[in-house]
């Protein structure tokens, strides 16, 4: 690698960064991360901080998981790549598909379709949903329902079901036939409702009203994150996903659970669907499937959908979809090692325990700092929504958010800022001491800004 001076001089110049304005990155170059160990990362200047972002929701096992590194190296030596298109397969992809369907058998999953990441997985689920209804002879079922504030990726299909304007506006027009219902957020919702059970009923009623307006026989699927992630860690009332499942069943609509963030233990359960006691028709996976060590994703398929495809005798059942890196043998080898470690370390149980500690620490920070308007969490996914005024809920400005993040970094904690929200998604190997350090870092950041 070239020296430090070269990297600093060229930072944000030949590269455009995701989710950022190129001019802003050039004016204020991003931090350059050079090394990582355990739950910590080290920047180009040698400063080491606790990574409360977990890479990007995905480094559940931390940065020092030797079994994954060894699995990658061994697979590179044995077979660095081969296509999974019709006519060929690889050992690791067969084995990982088996492990995934076993892991998510309680959710009713029986098949796996491999992708390169979360956006790919959502795109796959949307396409398979439309194809499913063509096989069934109901070709009018092309529309999708989703939640406002939901995040499902950045491809044209997945961005279309996104419920956040900043992922949509600059790329419109998007996929036609996508309709959004209010997110079940007790802090901000159009009903001004703070009671969770009542809010769940109101959002379900809005969903049923939209189904009636569109015509149930035109809707292919409803997609939701069991806990909304990038939209601000919105934890739905515990009854909401079950109510949505009942509506889908009543009107013959497929349910897609976007588990890209919530899969593999982050909420304290092995999946968000299992957390709420729901069996979806399809599940999308990525991120923690390899703990971030290799780009890989999967769309998991439930029994009814699988049977429909596999019993088809027409051309509609042929899957004309896939990626060069679907079932990449190195990625699948990484996935097998990651799943084994995830199970061995019982990361779901640790996420639940550390999540309770984190929630308590964040509640104390809310009592101390008027900047915090709302605290939301489930397991080791959490958010602090910062406001200029608690009564009006006026959002904190960009300058304030930057102050909080910069001061926390100086105090030894890497935070993620999204709009007026601080999002926390640390590795699931977190210790109680790490939780205390994250809270101390946020405290320092809020003190500097407030």
pLDDT tens track, the chain, 450 positions: 799 999 999 999 999 999 999 999 999 999 999 999 999 999 999 999 999 999 999 999 999 999 999 999 999 999 999 999 989 999 999 999 999 999 999 999 999 999 999 999 999 999 999 999 999 999 999 999 999 999 999 999 999 999 999 999 999 999 999 999 999 999 999 999 999 999 999 999 999 999 999 999 999 999 999 999 999 999 999 999 999 999 999 999 999 999 999 999 999 999 999 999 999 999 999 999 999 999 999 999 999 999 999 999 999 999 999 999 999 999 999 999 999 999 999 999 999 999 999 999 999 999 999 999 999 999 999 999 999 999 999 999 999 999 999 999 999 999 999 999 999 999 999 999 999 999 999 999 999 998
Is residue 434 packed enough to be buried (19+ CB in 10 Å), middle (13-18) or exposed (0-12)? buried
pLDDT computed for residue 306 by the predictor: 98
Give the whole-angstrom CA distance, residue 247 versus residue 147. 14
pLDDT computed for residue 348 by the predictor: 98
Give the whole-angstrom CA distance, residue 310 versus residue 413. 50
**Structural domain 68-345, CATH architecture:** 3-Layer(aba) Sandwich (3.40)
pLDDT computed for residue 310 by the predictor: 98
pLDDT computed for residue 1 by the predictor: 79
Residues facing 376 on adjacent strands: 383
Per-residue H/E/C for 176-204:
CCEEEECCCCCCCCCCCCCCHHHHHHHHH
Give the whole-angstrom CA distance, residue 132 versus residue 66. 41
pLDDT computed for residue 224 by the predictor: 98
Orientation angle between helical segments 329-344 and 91-103, nearest 10 degrees: 40
Orientation angle between helical segments 240-251 and 196-214, nearest 10 degrees: 20
How does DSSP assign 213-231, residue by residue?
HH-GGGEEEEEE-SSB-TT
Candidate CATH numbers 3.90.550.10, 3.90.1150.10, 3.30.930.10, 3.40.50.2000; the one for domain 31-64+346-449: 3.90.1150.10
pTM of the model: 0.97
C-beta separation of 56 from 340 below 8 A: no
80: left (phi over 0), alpha (psi -120 to 50) or beta: alpha
Instruction: Sketch the domain layout of the chain as residue ranges.
Output: 31-64+346-449, 68-345
pLDDT computed for residue 315 by the predictor: 92
How is the beta sheet containing 413-414 ordered, strand by strand?
Answer: 33-37, 40-43, 48-51, 413-414
**Length, in residues, of the chain:** 450
Spatial CA neighbour of 164 closest among 180, 148, 178: 148
Q: How many H-runs (helices) and E-runs (strands) does the chain carry?
A: 15, 16
């Amino acid at each position: 690698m070239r020296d430090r001076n070269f990297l600093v001089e060229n930072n944000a110049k030949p590269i455009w960064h995701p989710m950022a304005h190129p001019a802003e990155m050039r004016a204020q170059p991003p931090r350059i991360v050079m090394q990582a160990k355990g739950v910590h990362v080290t920047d180009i200047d040698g400063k080491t901080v606790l990574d409360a972002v977990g890479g990007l929701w995905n480094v559940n096992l931390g940065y020092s998981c030797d079994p994954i590194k060894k699995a990658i190296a061994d697979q590179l030596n044995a077979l660095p790549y081969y296509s999974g298109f019709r006519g060929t397969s690889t050992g690791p992809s067969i084995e990982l598909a088996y492990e995934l369907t076993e892991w998510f058998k309680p959710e009713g999953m029986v098949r796996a379709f491999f992708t390169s990441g979360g956006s790919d997985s959502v795109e796959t689920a949307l396409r398979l949903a439309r194809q499913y209804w063509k096989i069934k002879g109901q070709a009018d079922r092309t529309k999708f329902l989703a939640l406002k504030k939901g995040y499902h990726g950045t491809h044209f299909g997945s961005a279309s079901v996104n419920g956040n304007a900043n992922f949509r506006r600059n790329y419109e027009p998007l996929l036609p036939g996508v309709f959004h219902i209010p997110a079940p957020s007790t802090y901000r919702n159009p009903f001004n409702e703070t009671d969770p059970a009542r809010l769940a009923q109101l959002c379900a009623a809005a969903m049923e009203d939209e189904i009636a307006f569109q015509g149930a026989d035109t809707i292919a699927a409803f997609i939701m994150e069991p806990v909304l992630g990038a939209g601000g860690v919105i934890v739905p009332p515990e009854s909401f996903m079950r109510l949505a499942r009942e509506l889908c069943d009543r009107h013959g609509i497929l349910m897609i659970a976007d588990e890209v963030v919530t899969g593999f233990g982050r909420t304290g359960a092995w999946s968000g669907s299992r957390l709420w006691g729901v069996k979806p028709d399809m599940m999308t996976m990525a991120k923690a499937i390899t703990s971030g060590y290799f780009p890989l994703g999967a769309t998991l398929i439930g029994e009814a959908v699988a049977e429909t495809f596999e019993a088809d005798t027409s051309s509609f059942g042929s899957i004309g979809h896939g990626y060069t890196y679907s079932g990449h043998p190195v990625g699948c080898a990484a996935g097998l090692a990651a799943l084994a470690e995830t199970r061995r370390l019982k990361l779901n149980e640790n996420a639940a325990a550390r999540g309770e500690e984190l929630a308590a620490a964040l509640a104390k920070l809310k009592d101390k700092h008027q900047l915090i308007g709302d605290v939301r969490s489930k397991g080791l996914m959490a958010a602090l929504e910062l406001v200029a005024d608690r009564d009006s809920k006026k959002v904190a400005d960009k300058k304030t958010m930057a102050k909080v993040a910069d001061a926390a970094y100086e105090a030894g904690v890497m935070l993620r800022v999204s709009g007026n929200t601080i999002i926390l998604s640390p590795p699931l190997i977190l210790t109680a001491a790490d939780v205390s350090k994250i809270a101390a870092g946020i405290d320092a950041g809020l003190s500097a800004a407030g």
